[in-house]
Amino acid sequence: MIEQKAEIIFNRKVASDTFLMGLRASDIVAEAAPGQFVMIRVSPELDPILRRPFSICGTQEGDMLLVLYRVIGKGTRILAGVGQGETLSVLGPLGTGFKFPEKGQKAILVSGGIGIAPLIFLAQKMKDREMKFLSGYRSVKEMVPIEWAGLSGINDSISTDDGTMGHKGPVTDLFEAAIDEFRGGAFVFSCGPLPMLKKVAEITLERGISCQVSVETHMACGLGACQGCAVKSSFHEDRTYFHVCQDGPVFDARSLDW
Ligand code: FES
């Protein structure tokens, strides 16, 4: 884990209330893996004092860390106002990321909303495999383009709740169709709101398909010290709780009590 003063290279709006930030952070980039996260101090002022957690969305040019975030509260509102050339304190990479399937194995990536962030990084690292990338949004206004990440050629499908783009309905409809097409022979990776993750877990557990989920929770410290990110484990485990910040945020879907 590294603490670094990172210079902002860009901080641009890519969808409604959604920003992509590039930060110069070579030491963190050198160790970053898909599924891990960073804690960012959004302001040098004392308020807000706590760092905010952000999934690592990718890396570029060997030293640029990419963070995709949605403005949902005070911290992210401050972050959206940070400009090129300013510096922020970044701590990371933190947590346990995705485990890669064997070479040649097919993969299905399922995201909901801003949960696409860690899956973009994962897709970049798995471009040599047969893969489907399914992303769901409430509306087309929230849709995050992925071409900038070099993912324009991948097999992707979109769903929106209001039908303004792609399939009208939950992304799990697309997911069930994709599983049938791959005849169950795929590794599944998912990140998004809890009800969506729960449905993805249910579908994969019923069919005995390997599934890793990245769980989003509130994190105050990101370091295993505050106990604020505990989630209940399933009966398969010999512990009652996991800390999302250290044991996760990526878990095998069988490990959690849904
Ligand atoms: Fe503090 Fe996980 S965020 S223990």
> Tokens representing 76?
């992210």
Q: Which tens digits make up the pLDDT trace of 118-157?
A: 999 999 999 888 899 999 999 999 999 888 888 877 878 9
> Tokens representing 117?
């962030």
CA of 169 to the centre of ligand 1 (A): 34
Mutate to test the pocket of ligand 1, among 221, 242, 247 (most ligand atoms within 8 A of CB): 221
Return residue ranges of the chain for CATH 3.40.50.80: 98-214
CA of 38 to the centre of ligand 1 (A): 13
Return residue ranges of the chain for CATH 2.40.30.10: 2-93
The answer to whether the beta carbons of residues 151 and 120 sit under 8 Å apart is yes
pLDDT confidence bin for 190, thresholds 50/70/90: very high
In the 8-state DSSP scheme, what is residue 89? E
Residue 8: which of 19, 23, 20, 18 has the closest Cα?
23
CATH number of 215-258: 2.10.240.10
Report the alpha-carbon distance of residue 79 to residue 174 in Å, rounded: 33
CATH assignment of 2-93, given 2.40.30.10, 2.60.120.10, 3.40.50.300, 3.40.50.10880?
2.40.30.10
Respond yes or no on whether the N-terminal peptide bond of residue 170 is cis (omega within 30° of 0): no
pLDDT at 1 over 90: no
Nearest ligand 1 atom to the CA of 225 is 4
Q: Which tens digits make up the pLDDT trace of 62-105?
A: 899 999 999 999 999 999 999 999 999 999 999 999 999 888 88
Position 257 scores a pLDDT of 94
Q: What is the pTM of this model?
A: 0.94
CA of 239 to the centre of ligand 1 (A): 17
Angstrom CA distances, 77 to 11, 13, 38, 236, 247, stand at 12, 12, 18, 40, 29
Q: Which tens digits make up the pLDDT trace of 15-73?
A: 999 999 999 999 999 999 999 999 999 887 777 888 899 999 999 988 999 999 999 99
Report the alpha-carbon distance of residue 213 to residue 49 in Å, rounded: 29
Report the alpha-carbon distance of residue 190 to residue 135 in Å, rounded: 10
pLDDT confidence bin for 227, thresholds 50/70/90: confident
Q: Report the pocket of ligand 1 as residue ranges, CB < 6 Å.
A: 219-222, 224-229, 243, 245
CA of 204 to the centre of ligand 1 (A): 28
Return residue ranges of the chain for CATH 2.10.240.10: 215-258
pLDDT at 247 over 90: yes
Residue count of the chain: 258
In the 8-state DSSP scheme, what is residue 221? S
> Tokens representing 28?
């963190």
Q: Which tens digits make up the pLDDT trace of 164-183?
A: 999 999 999 999 999 988 87
Position 112 scores a pLDDT of 97
Residue 182: which of 125, 108, 120 has the closest Cα?
108
CATH number of 98-214: 3.40.50.80
Closest C-alpha to ligand 1, atom 4: 224
